[in-house]
Each structure stands twice: as C-alpha cells, then as structure tokens.
Structure 1
C-alpha cells in the first residue's frame, strides 16, 4: 500500500472515530474506543485491534452495530469488522495489506485462531465472557457431580444448587448467598460448581473471581483508564461469584465492591460470596458492606464428620481409578484415614495422592502399615473450637455481672475496668485477631490500650491465684 493510500485510510479512521465519539459520548468513547487502532482495510472488511480481551469482548457485545455503521458512512462497501487483540509489546501496526497484517499476527501469537468477526448482531458465548472479563481459573473437577454431601454442608449445597439452576428473569430468593467455613471444607468447590453449571448454557453470564483477582482487575482498570468499562462489565453480569472475600483490601477497592454489590442486588442479579468467617467478623470491611452481606442468606459449612470424611475418601479413590485402574485402597485403610485425618478435605485428598504415588512408584499394594507411615504428618490434634470476640465479651460480662455495653463503653470504674482487661486478654490469647482489630471491637480503642490490658493480666495471673482460676474457668467455658 502506498503512503498516500495509507494516509487516506488514516483520515477515514479519524473521521470514523469522530462519529463514534459524537454517537456514544466522550466518557464512553474514552473508556472503550480511545485505545482501538486501525490495522488494515481490505475489500469488504476493516481490521481493528484493542489491547485486551476484555475490551474486545465488550465492544463485540455492545457496540458492534455502531462501529459498523460509522465505517459504512465512510465506506459503504464494508460489511464486516474484524476485531483482534494486539500483543501488549507491539506498537500499533501501520495501515498495510490485510493479509500481511494477519500473517504477522500469526507469527506473533504462535497459535492463531483467525480473526474474530464483529457483526451487527455479534454475541459472545458465556464461557468466553468468563475468560474475557478476567475471571479466575476454574478447576474442571469442582462440579456438583463431584461434591460429596453430608450433614455439615447440606444447606449450603442446596442453596448453591438453586442459584445454579436459576434462569434469567427468575426472581432471586436470597441475595447475596454468603457461605463461610474454615479452610478445606468445600467453599471453593461449591462456588466453582455454581460457575460451571451457569456457564453450561447460553442464558446467563456467570463470573467467578477471587477477591485478589477483583482487586487486581480494579487496580489495572484504574491504571489503564478503563475503570468505567470495568464497572459496566461487572454490573452486566447475571451471577457474580466472589471467593475468599476476607482478602479484600484497600478503601477504594472495597468502595467499588460495595457499589457493585448494591448495583447487582438492586438490579435483581445474583451474588454468591464465600469467606472464612461470617460477615460480622470481617472487621476490615465497611459497616455498610457487612450489613448488606448479612442481609442475604448466610450459611456456615461445618467441620467434616467422620462419616462424611469416609465418603470423600471413597470418591477420591474412585476418581483416581479412572486413570489408574489397578489402584486400590482397602476399606480398613480408608476407615483409618477417616478417623485420623480430621483437619479438612484437602488433607484427605493429599493422603490419597500419597498412597497412589507410593503404590505406583514402588509397585506395592496399599496396606494399613504403609498408610500410617505415609500420612503421619497429616494426623493432627483435634482443632480447638473457634472462639469469637462476641462470645468472649458475653461470657466475661456474665462472669463479672456487668453488661456487654459496659465493656465497650468509656467507663473507668474498677468493676468495669478489670473485666474489660480480662476480655481483651482472652481475645488476644484465644483468637487470631490483631491488637488494632481487638481495640475496634472494644468500643474503638487504640491498640496500645489492648496491649496494656494484655500485659496487665499476664502479670496478675502469675501472682493472683484467684484471678488465675477465674481466667482458666473462662477459657474452659469458651472452648467447650
């Protein structure tokens, strides 16, 4: 292509961008089209590129007709727009022969699948939407079919199934669905199962994000000046699934999450969230967010009972035998593992993997003796009961005949100060909460006040037998 021809195409592209700007408005243009480049014009096609799959997906879905119409005003013969994602390390290619441009892209990307056609009626498959919008990776094993139910997770499973089986336009029964549990008890399995089930059909857009991925996406959108596009994309999701919410950090990120949560719920879209604690214990989140989370259905997944652990072990062995037909674990070994490994489901899966590796690599059958030897580090003492600060305040207030509000107040009388110090001491020794978090839960006190109380009680219990007995009694009440 001659330099004059290239200049003509660039002039046309400038006029097309002007039409787009006047059609959609400055804000939308800046979010979606400011970083779109012209690659080539060939016969009835125009080849454009954008820097991310996210922009490509959104433009395909929402602005196909407008882009095509603006080009047809310049070139009536144009009937197709090819939109591709350019390499982040490559500068915008000059306008050149379309075939040469596509050949270069094949060389740059290695595995070229051909240009994605952008038509006036363009649609994006739901599964592709999950990828294009930056969804977190999904494990194909984590489906409803592979989820093992027991007494501790029946309600959470039923609620997740109802969400997954919903259809676009159905009224939302509970929103958000908030599932909390300790590590390895099945939260992520259920959330990914909801996503897989939702992505199996074309009706709804289901997006699965970890809190870390949400933060990364928001920060990246701010840096690339596509924050408006990021927000619009999230709020166009039918089912938003957020995992590990306890890791959500940063005031601006939390504020954006709150706005997104409110917008989706108010629009009747479904939100599913998982965390390792109930909403009331997410001290780092704003009160408004915690209140909105608590307003839905909050379900706790309890610890795995021995019977459920045995069923999980059997299912993991069955899954392993799909690829290793000769692998066999005798029932007495499975029963031993179910009794001995009580911590979480991931330890159970790890135990089966160890037995499989030992059996295959050493060409030996699985025996009880071998199992005891291979999993001895997974056999842990019974996990103590998780103690909440609210429980500590309630038990201490009852023990010393004061009210919980007294403990949180600014009163400095002796009959309140000592119980408050004891409660702070117990909060530090029986929970994993930090000193600033404990201070906030005791009427917004400074962490130095908590540290003083902890040191004060530590010094007293070593000398005052009566107080030492009282503290031990309180500990037993809280841990029983």
Structure 2
C-alpha cells in the first residue's frame, strides 16, 4: 500500500488518513471500553502527516499530555499495522479550552477597532500571575474555605504529630523549581487529631510566603460536587485543565470520596500532578489500603509517597493544647481565672482528641461567664460529665489497636497488615486481631479487610489461637492486659 508520507498532502490522502484514524478509534473503543474512549480518544482528530510522522490534535493540553504518555505507543502500533512506513505519532493542541481569567475590576474591554496587542508566548506558570487572597482559583474553581487561625504558629507540636508537622513544613517551604520532597504526602488520623489544621496550615503558609504559587485546598465532598457540576454543565475539560495546572493540591477527608467516575477522575488527577512534579497532600481517617473504593493503582500511587500518622496526644501535649486554648480565652475575658489543678484534671480526663479539649475549655468558660460560677474541680466535673462518661464507655478502634500493638511489640503498623509471616510479626498480628474481635463491634470480614484484606477464617483462626495461648502462656496473657490498659488511656 502507498504510504501517506508527503508533508503537503492532497485531499484524497487527507481523507485516507482520517479513515485510518476512524478505524483506529473504533479499535480503541473496543479495546478500552466506552468510558475510557469518551474520556481520551473521542475528541482527538487527525491533522495530517509530516514525512513519516502522524499528527493528531487534542482539544486541551491535558488530553495531549495524557494520551501521548499513556496511549502514544499503542496508537503508533495501530497506525503501523495499517502502514509500516510510519515512524511516529505526534500530538498537538488545536485549541486549548482554558477558562478565561476574571477581568480586573475597573478594567475596560479592549477597543476592537484599535491595534491588537502584541502576543508573546506565555510560560507554563507566569511569575507575575496574580493569585487571589481568598480560596478562589483562577478559572472559577473555588476551593473550600480556609480558616486563618489554622497556621503552623498556633499548631501545638508533640511526639504524636512531630513527623507530620515536619513533613508539612517542608512542603510549605518548598520554592518554585525545587524538587518535590514528598509526593504525595498522605496524612492519616482519627477524628479531631489535627489533620485539617495541618492541611490548612500548609495552604495558609504558602499563600503568605509564596503568593505566586497556586495552591488549592478542597474537601473530598467539594471535589465531588464540583466534578458532578462540571459534568452537568458539560465543562469537564475546563475543570480538569484548571485542576491540573495548580502547584499544590490539598484534599481533606478522602474517605468521603464516592462514585466510580469521581474515583477515576481523582486517580487521573493524582497521576498527572505527581508525574509533572506538582505537590499533592491528602488526609483521611485511615491509611490508603483501608479506604473503600480506591483502585489498586491509586492505592499504589498513594503508598509510593510519604504516609504519616497522627496519634492521640499524650498528657504533656494535651496540657500544652489546653494552655494555648486558655490563653486565647484570656485575651477575650481578661478577668478569667483558670486554676492549674483544673487544667491538670482536664488534661488527664479528656484523652480522646484536641477537638474535645477545645470543647472542654469552651464549656468551662461559658459556665463561668454565664453563671459567674468560679472554675474549680467541682464545676469541671459537672460541666464535663458527658465527656468523662464518654471516656468510661469509649471503645477502641481497629486503628488504635494496631497502633498500640505495633508500638508494644516494636513492629511497624505496615508489618501488621503485610503478607509477612515471620514469628516476630505473626504473634503481634494475631493478638491485634484478637483484640479487634473482643474490643470492637467489627465483624470478622471487616477485621480481615483491615489487616491486609485477609479472609475472615484467618481472623477466626487468630482469635482461637490467642485464646489457647492465653491459657498456657502467662506472658501472652500479660501482654494482652498491658495492651488493654494502654488502649484505655
């Protein structure tokens, strides 16, 4: 067959090239399915040939980048089956559908009759691009609201969050052009341990110290809302382009991300940003392997970055948190008296998380200001009785059991959920499974899933094995009692 190789080609040759591409599109649809075809191949058009190079065009830079990197070799192979002389497939953007930047207040429209301004090629990210001071990103993509009080300055540091804070500061302090240090950075913690404070501190720090860097903070729910809205408005390409051109993407509460298409879009966004050396920071209430709905490739991508956990604060950190909160209240109520013995009582009694400590301080101050009752131990016992009761009836979570067990036996939490079967790992894993069954309401299949997707029969075997060991091995019985005491603190 005659190769379609001239750089200036006839209409017949152009028609033949388009016919080639239509045939290949049908093959791609059959090979990859309707969803992938619609997302990546449907809007690619055949432009022509330059020597032995096939030129295809895409509507946006993102589609060009993605298809060239992920499907370019396959498309070339399919072209070569039709014409073996073809050596390359080259993609270009035929018309970027980028959102227009909002016009500055007071600016006037250009005079169409006057001379057109001289156009100059814009770099990928212009240094003089204005960045809004609010959470609005150019192109109309608004981020979730940021709390100005969530900064590194008023974040209490301690053993339970030292690594996470250090990593977050490293990300926030990075300069344009620096190598991305930890990507993605994944922060895992239970409710109220400071995930949101840490994520918003990164965003607030970058916007203050480096206002030309484009940072976007989104909750998972808001990410879903904007994506669904873009689908309804038929503006998904614009949504994707804006999202993938920021410097730092921060997503909070990833566990609330739902929907197959939303998960796919999140996976594409994550891959594109990480591959292009843009920083991604994510927080969730559990590790990536324990999140429902994530595709294996997304779990793998998240696991390839830095995973840090925020633990429950110890006594000294809880007291430090209380002192910060009380100092803030004294700026409002200058006559406020908060005895040291009450601070100590609250620090020892409210052991759940920082949010409950905030609530305890707010309640005591409210009682004091509204009833003129002095803050003392008697008042604290009455005002905080529900928090104290919650502590008495609180049941540990599987994450708590894994954390305490791994610390007690000197193994990592990743070891507990791994496939490793050495004795030093198997016994702590079996004990953690036993405690999960006896101290939590979780089912055997759920426990198995949280321990590396193990079968429920494996959990049942572990429970029975530990029950046998308790009867014949005093050391195992002592270890379990110690772990229960640690979980009750």
- Is TM-score (shorter-chain normalized) higher than 0.5? yes
CA separation in 1, counterparts of 2:433 and 2:341? 47
Aligned counterparts of 2:289 and 2:395: Cα–Cα separation in 1 = 22
| Mapped contact 2:129–2:212 kept (Cα < 8 A) | no
> Post-superposition shift, 1:375?
0.8
| Structure 2 counterpart of 1:76 | 113
Residue 150 (structure 2) pairs with residue 142 (structure 1): yes
Q: Report the Cα offset of residue 155 of structure 1.
A: 1.5
More deviation, 212-221/310-319: 212-221
Query: What is the distance in 1 between the residues matched to 2:244 and 2:354?
Result: 34
Change (3 A) 1:441 1:199: closer
Gaps of at least 5 residues in structure 2 are 1-56, 64-97, 118-127, 410-417, 422-428
Q: Which residue of 2 aligns with 1:304?
A: 313
- Per the TM alignment, residue 284 of structure 1 is displaced from its structure 2 partner at its CA by 3.2
Change (3 A) 1:355 1:219: same
Q: Cα distance 1:273–1:433, how it changes in 2: closer, same or farther (>3 A)? A: farther
Mapped pair 1:238 → 2:247: yes
Map 1:229-268 onto structure 2 (within 5 A). 229-268=238-277
Question: Which residue matches 2:134?
Answer: 127
Q: Secondary structure at the match of 1:59?
A: coil
Q: Could you report, residue by residue, the CA deviation over 1:405-445 in whole angstroms, capped at 9, with x for unpaired residues?
A: 699xxxxxxxxxxxx99998876555565666556578978
Give me the whole-angstrom Cα distance separating, in 2, the residues matched to 1:333 and 1:422: 38
Report SS of the residue matched to 2:286. coil
**2:271 paired with 1:276:** no
What does residue 178 of structure 1 align with? Answer: 186
Say if 1:122 and 1:269 are closer, same or farther in 2 by CA, change over 3 A: closer
RMSD: 4.3
Which 5+ residue runs of structure 1 have no aligned equivalent? 1-24, 32-57, 81-120, 396-403, 408-419
Could you tell me the TM-score, scaled by structure 2's length? 0.61
Q: Does 1:289 align with 2:298?
A: yes
Aligned pair partner of 1:59 in 99, 110, 115: 99
1:352 and 2:389 equivalent? no
Q: Quote the offset at 1:239 in angstroms.
A: 0.7
SS across alignment from 1:337: helix
Compute the displacement of 1:226 (Å): 1.1
Secondary structure, in 3 states, of the residue corresponding to 1:127? coil
Distance 2:363 2:152 in 1: 25
Q: Deviations over 1:170-228 (max 9, x none)?
A: 21111111111221111111101111111224221111111111111111111211111
1:387 has 2:401 as partner = yes
- Listed one character per residue, the Cα deviations across residues 6-28 of structure 1 (whole Å, up to 9, x for unaligned) are xxxxxxxxxxxxxxxxxxx9946
Match of 1:331 among 320, 340, 357: 340
Contact 2:190 2:286 in 1 (8 A): yes
Question: 1:281 offset after TM fit, Å?
Answer: 2.3
Tell whether the 8 Å contact from 1:61 to 1:122 is kept in structure 2 after alignment. no
241 and 134 in structure 1: CA distance in 2 versus 1, 3 angstrom threshold? same
The one of 192, 209, 222 equivalent to 1:213 is 222
Secondary structure of the structure 2 residue equivalent to 1:179:
strand
